[in-house]
Amino acid sequence: MRALRHLRRDVLRPVCRCLSSGREAEALDAYSRVVTNVVDTVGPAVVAVKHKDGRGQGSGFIFSSDGYILTNDHVLGDAAGSEIMVSLTDDTVLQAELVGRDPPTDVGILRIPSRSRPLPAVELGESTELRVGQLVVAIGNPLGYASSVSAGVVSALGRSLRSQSGRLVDNIIQTDTAINPGNSGGPLVDANCKAVGMNTAIVAGSQGLAFAVPSNTLSFVVSQLMQFGRVKRGYFGIYGGVRPVQRELQQRYGLQLQTVVQVAGMDPEGPAVRGGILAGDLIVAADDVPTGSMDDLWRILSQRPPGAPLSVRVLRPVPGSMQLKSLQLTVQIEEDIKQLPGAGGRQLRLPVQEPLRPVSGDFKFH
């Protein structure tokens, strides 16, 4: 009987191995089917964006069948519309018109001439529905290799990334998809063939740390650029920096953070001056939200439409003491995007490729 039990185990083991191998094959086939379906559906809408003088290139994707294209602002660089060329997957090269750009979110919109039939386009999805671990596919033109595909997962959500303008972009998607120079501006696509983000940056010297602007941000910027030619944002009219606060002041005034924003200067015609803020004031809260940095102020302003009221609490230095004051401001439209001093953050390499040049030593590819 004991021998029979051993015999049964020996017979069953190979069967179990076969079943396990079969399940792995099925899982692999399902994974492959998702990726290939995404490539077949979305691939024709992915384009290469190039400067006419050959200075650099990146990727983009058509989001409207009448020729509107999303790409990164840093891919466009300082090129005017007449200096930008777009290559389609059928090798057609067209001159692009610059529709608008928004450096704070690193988004640019181009348009190419309509053709005899509608162009293939990618639908923007809902980035708020993404989950960590979800499959995503990146399509672009890394290092000049057209229509390259890499797949991975959503590694994290809600990251923050500083754009080249100095502004902090929130709700950034972190993925482990392979993103290389030239991928910038390409779509990050979910299993439903919808663009849930736009590939934007990698951390210099890292592996598997790629970032994408979420589709909900893209949708907002697109609507603003298409309607107004620029993004209308609330404007505060100050520049400043972070100042640590002594524990005694924290306890005395009930401050929740260990830092505040110290006002270093102001737009003489801005809302801060009109609301009574002075140089040297310490901004501790806006609309009852603690402000420990300029980034905190930007976040609050980004949620306020122009013309909306904004309550601000400041600590004002007076001889031998501090005064806590509450001020009322009216948010105005920011006319000019300015990089505020003191923008810190980790060093990020924005993956724009300059053709026919070796890859920078800041990159490590294996």
Q: What is the pLDDT of residues 197-251, one digit of tens each?
A: 999 887 766 677 889 999 999 998 999 899 888 888 777 888 788 889 888 888 8
3-state helix, strand, coil in the chain (%, to 5): 25, 35, 40
pLDDT class for 341, splitting at 50, 70, 90? very low
From its phi and psi, is residue 336 left (phi > 0), alpha (psi between -120 and 50) or beta?
A: beta
Q: How far is CA 19 from the centre of its chain?
A: 43
Tens digits of per-residue pLDDT, 270-303? 889 999 999 999 999 999 999 988 878 888 887 7
Catalytic site residue from 106, 267, 281, 295: 106
Q: What is the pLDDT of residue 26?
A: 59
* Options 74, 102, 267, 295, the catalytic residue: 74
For 315, other C-beta atoms within 10 Å of its C-beta total: 23
d(C-alpha 357, C-alpha 312), whole Å: 50
Catalytic pick among 150, 155, 165, 184: 184
**98 versus 21: which is more confidently predicted?**
98
- CATH topology match: 47-111 vs 127-231+345-349: yes
Q: Where are the domains of the chain?
A: 47-111, 127-231+345-349, 234-333
Sign of CA dihedral 307, 309, 311, 317: positive
Q: With pLDDT > 90 as the criterion, what percentage of the chain qualifies?
A: 34
- What mean pLDDT comes out for the span 92-103? 90
Give the DSSP per-residue string, 46-110: EEEEEETTSS-EEEEEEEETTTEEEE-HHHHTT--GGGEEEE-TTS-EEEPEEEEEEGGGTEEEE
Alpha helices for the chain (secondary structure H): 2-42, 73-76, 215-228, 247-253, 271-274, 294-302
- Which has the higher per-residue pLDDT, 167 or 325? 325
Q: Count of CB atoms within 10 A of residue 318's CB?
A: 8
Which pLDDT belongs to residue 134? 95
Confidence category of residue 175, pLDDT binned at 50, 70, 90? very high
Residue percentage of the chain with pLDDT more than 70:
80
Concerning whether 106 is annotated as a catalytic residue, the answer is yes
**304 by DSSP, 3-state: which?**
coil
Instruction: State the fold for domain 127-231+345-349.
Output: Thrombin, subunit H (2.40.10)
Q: Over 50: is that where the pLDDT of 351 sits?
A: no
Asked if the model's pLDDT at residue 115 lies above 80, the reply is no
Query: Would you state the pLDDT for residue 117?
Result: 80
Q: What is the CA 330 to chain-centroid distance, rounded?
A: 29
pLDDT bin (cut points 50, 70, 90) of residue 37 is very high
Residue 217 CB neighbours (<10 A): 22
The identity of residue 283, as a single letter, is I
Give the pLDDT of residue 190. Answer: 95
| Whether the predicted pLDDT of 135 surpasses 80 | yes
Q: Mean pLDDT highest for which of 5-19, 54-68, 334-348?
A: 54-68
Does the active-site annotation cover 170? no
74 among known catalytic residues: yes
**Listed residue (207, 193, 108) closest to 155, CA to CA:** 207
pLDDT in tens, 65-81: 999 999 999 888 877 65
234-333 is a CATH 2.160.20.10 domain: no
Q: Give the architecture-level CATH label for domain 47-111.
A: Beta Barrel (2.40)
